[in-house]
Amino acid sequence: MSPTEHPITDAVREAMAISLRGAQELLPEDAWLKKLARSAATGQPLRIKLGLDPTAPDIHIGHTVVLNKMRQLQDLGHQVIFLIGDFTSLIGDPSGRNSTRPPLTPEQIKANAETYYKQASLVLDPSKTEIRYNSEWSIALGSMGLIQLSAKTTVARMLERDDFTKRYAAQTPISLHEFLYPLMQGYDSVALKSDLELGGTDQKFNLLMGRQLQQEYGQEPQCILTMPLLEGLDGVEKMSKSKNNYIGITEPANTMYAKVLSISDELMWRWYELLSFESLAAIAKLKAEVEAGRNPKDAKVALAREITTRFHGAAAAEAAQEDFERRARGGIPDEIPEVTVHGAPMGIGALLKSAGLVPSNGEGLRKVEQGGVRVDGVVISDKGLKLEPGTYVLQVGKRQFARVSLHAA
């Protein structure tokens, strides 16, 4: 072992495992392991940065995928920095865009930023969180500093970025100010001397720019950790308020609970991996029980209780479950047709047809699209939903019901 290296203890390996849980990429892994070992040996916490632009007034649970990871690292004793991008919001992040994104006004940014940290504190420990605004150093940089910063990368490097490449090939306009966004985000890492920066997979280029600029400024380069983008309620598109497939973390407990129950069984396991604080071993055990015949609704109820408890407390989560079950019972007639169907897992359109509630699969899917289908009292929005063996109350419209016992083929 060289004098500058530190021992890889069991505690360091455990910290590495926590870092990797649910992550898409950790780059470079060996550098992060060395940073963890150094921190453990010296007692000096690492500086871990997450930046969010206040582009909307509320945070949804998709944002909490990276916040959860921040909290895990915070609980290991490291210094987390919640960075509000009040300056970068003036530029507009082009990540994942095929057209220029209009920048926000200072008034919009100020209004949105007021709620961001308060909501993030529902996940992070506010007493151990450093909150910063990147206008602190970005405005002070000035025009001369910005020119000098721009000299530290090239147009060719910018065009390596996937969305810029596609837009350039398609002759879709790219404004010069959009090149400034990854530069300014990267400069945030220089200003904060970060050891690790977190972000979604769509932020990889920007995070790597931080590493590049830190090297240019003579700093030890940060590692980067990207987390997957959480699919929304439809199970297809990433969670977004604009797509109306989201759960806001300040939504009422009853609404939050019901929305979690509305997701497909397949999506449920993805959410368990990215949103649950249960151990991977406990989740694997639960999944094995479902595959062995346990009703998947039991697992979904447990997930809904966990998420609702996190943001509203255990009493509110219990009340939300009772309210949901009461509404589900109250909306179902005492006597409804009972049907036995074989062929699980079965798509929702085919199951509605097999139950005699619609004349065709296509009509069933149209009813789903129109919001006219409920399973166990929950409105279904995912046309790709497949139901596993179990007993379900299906409802189409206000008056058509069937209790279906679905069995494997």
CATH placement of domain 253-330: 1.10.240
Please state whether 385 falls in left (phi above 0), alpha (psi between -120 and 50) or beta. Answer: beta
Q: Are 392 and 406 in contact (CB under 8 A)?
A: yes
- Residue 308: closest CA among 329, 284, 324: 324
Q: pLDDT of 349-405, one tens digit each? A: 999 999 999 999 999 999 998 888 988 878 888 899 999 888 888 999 877 888 898
Return all residues near 357 (Cβ < 8 A) that are at least 6 apart: 364, 394, 396, 400, 402
Summarize the confidence of residues 47-72 as an average pLDDT.
88
How far is residue 256's CA from residue 319's CA, in Å, rounded to a whole number? 12
Q: How far is CA 169 from CA 157, 178, 196, 327, in A?
A: 15, 17, 33, 53
Across residues 42-61, what is the average pLDDT?
88
Check pLDDT > 50 for residue 199: yes
Structure tokens at 286: 């639960």
Instruction: Look at residue 300 in the predicted model and tell me its pLDDT.
Output: 95
Q: How many C-beta atoms surround the C-beta of residue 55 within 10 A?
A: 17
Q: In the predicted model, is pLDDT for residue 103 greater than 60?
A: yes
Radius of gyration, CA atoms only, the chain:
24
- The span from the CA of 115 to the CA of 293, in Å, is 44
Q: What is the mean pLDDT of the chain?
A: 88
Confidence class for position 93, pLDDT limits 50, 70, 90: low
Answer yes or no: is 241 a known binding residue.
Answer: yes
Beta bridge partners of residue 340, listed in sequence order: 405
* In the predicted structure, residue 281 carries a pLDDT above the cut 60: yes
Of the candidates 247, 179, 184, which has an alpha carbon nearest to the alpha carbon of residue 210? 184
What share of the chain has pLDDT > 70, as a percent? 94
Q: Decide which of 170 and 329 is more confident.
A: 170
pLDDT at 3: 45
pLDDT digits (tens, 9 = 90+) for 329-351: 666 666 788 899 999 889 999 99
Q: What would the two tokens of residue 278 be?
A: 């249960």
What pLDDT score was predicted for residue 200? 87
pLDDT of residue 87: 87
Could you tell me how far CA 159 lies from the centroid of its own chain? 27
Q: φ, ψ for residue 138 (rounded to 5)? A: -70, -40
Give per-residue pLDDT as tens, 209-242: 999 999 999 999 999 999 998 999 988 888 887 7
CATH architecture designation of domain 338-408: Roll (3.10)
Of the chain, the percentage scoring pLDDT greater than 90 comes to 51
The CATH number of 10-227 is which of 3.10.20.30, 3.40.50.300, 1.20.1070.10, 3.40.50.620?
3.40.50.620
For 323: left if phi > 0, alpha if psi spans -120 to 50, otherwise beta; the answer is: alpha
The amino acid occupying position 94 is P
What is the C-alpha separation between 177 and 191, in angstroms, rounded? 21
CA distance 48 to 71: 11
Per DSSP, the chain holds a count of helices (H) and strands (E) of: 17, 13
**Domain boundary assignment for the chain:** 10-227, 253-330, 338-408
pLDDT band of 164, cuts 50, 70, 90: confident
Other residues' Cβ atoms within 10 Å of the Cβ of residue 115: 15
Of 292-296, 323-327, 379-383, the one with minimum mean pLDDT is: 323-327
Token pair listed for 129: 């969180």
Residues in contact with 17: Cβ distance below 8 Å, sequence separation at least 6, in sequence order: none
pLDDT(1) > 60: no
Question: Strands, E, within 12-119: which ranges?
Answer: 25-27, 47-52, 79-84
Short-list 51, 187, 171, CA closest to 120: 51
Tokens of 81: 């920095």
* Burial letters 329-361, b for 16+ CB under 10 A, else e: eeebeeeeeebebeeeebbbbbbbbbbebbeeb
